[in-house]
Structure formats: structure tokens, C-alpha cells
Amino acid sequence: METRFWLIRHALVEENARAMLYGVMDVALCETTLIEQAPMYRALADRLPRPARWVVTPLSRTHRTAGAIFNAGYPSVTPVVEPDLIEQSLGEWQGLPHAELPEKLANPAHAFWPLAGDEKPPGGESMLEVVARAGKALERLSVAHEGEDVVIVSHGGTIRAAVAHALGVAPDNALHLSIQNLSLTRIERHPAGWRVVCVNELPGY
């Protein structure tokens, strides 16, 4: 039996946070966008499977995003917190303005991510390590919830890492994927292996 994962990137964070590298900092969501995007939350509430296991990360932006989906009509449940699905830690570089990062990099930045897949910030982790961490968590969840639907509210970097694990591709390849806020990515764990169903599906479109 397959385990079906429904991965949602959290809602847009507030403007000041978007001006810096926030990584695993517990930054707030944009309150204006939470109101303006109400139709997207309703679309997600209608789209997501019932029943399902719900998983969030330790960061409040995933909890609030899940709560907004519940408020939009999905039957409220108590999500399980999964630390291994948290965003990439940028270590000592967290809190830096984006403009200050390039001079600190050992390798050229990725075209669509602040760091290359093998760049490891001081005190942080590389995307390569995020793929390994997220992959182990997904394998564990697929066994624990075999045959079930699992909704995971997580982060852009982690969702790219999940797709990289499912496809068996290098982190730099996965970083080419666009994972927008509130987008839905679906992957499945079958006995024969992983299958990617969709990536970056936007609710209501």
C-alpha cells in the first residue's frame, strides 16, 4: 500500500523577514496576506484529503498556516510536530541582509537559492544534508502511516529536499524547482519506490 504525502509550503512571512536570510528563525507571517489569500486557504481546505494525518515543523509559521486551513473549513486536528522537516539552517548567516551573503560564500550561489547545494554555512547545514534529513523523516513516516494520507506543512527548502529524495537527484537539481507559498506538492511512497504526483500546484488555480 502507498503512503500519500501532501506537502504545503507555509504562508508568506512578514516584510522585514523577507529582507534577510531567516532560515530556521521563528519569524512571523504577513498578516495582510493572510487576509488577502483567504480564497487560497478555502481551496486547500476543499482539496486536501479527509481523513489525514497532519504534520508541522517546530516553527510557528507552519502552525499558523495549518490553523488558517482549519479555519477555512478543513476539520481541525492536532498536528504532530516533526523537527526533521524544518527549513535549512543557515547557522551564523541567519539574520543577514541578502546583499551581504555573496562575499561569505565559498561557492557561487545557486541561480534560484541563496546557496549552492553543497555550501554549508558556519554552524548550519548544506542542502545536501537537508535532503538526507528530510528523506529519513519521510521514510519513517511512510512506514508509520502506511496506506494513509499525510499532510505536511513545511518549508520551501524542505519540500525541494523531499522531491530530491523521491527522485534521487542532486540538491542542485532540486533547487531549480519553484515552491511558492501555499503551494501543494504531492509525493507517494509505494512498495516499489517513490513517485512524484505534482509539484507547486497553487490552490484555486
Give me the domain span that covers residue 17. 3-201
Domain with 140 in it: what CATH number? 3.40.50.1240
pTM to 2 decimals?
Answer: 0.96
Starting at the edge strand found earlier in the chain, the sheet holding 184-190 runs: 80-81, 53-56, 149-154, 3-9, 184-190, 193-201
Task: Please tell me the predicted confidence (pLDDT) of residue 103.
Answer: 86
Q: Is 165 a catalytic residue?
A: no
pLDDT digits (tens, 9 = 90+) for 30-89: 999 999 999 999 999 999 999 999 999 999 999 999 999 999 999 999 999 999 999 999
Alpha carbon 130 to its chain centroid, in Å, reads 11
Overall average pLDDT of the 10-21 stretch? 95
Domains contained in the chain, number:
1
Does 107 score more than 90 pLDDT?
no
Q: Which of 14, 63, 82, 87 is catalytic?
A: 87
Task: Dump pLDDT digits (tens) for 151-204.
Answer: 999 999 999 999 999 999 999 999 999 999 999 999 999 999 999 999 999 987
Confirm whether 87 is a catalytic residue. yes
Catalytic one of 10, 82, 119, 155: 10
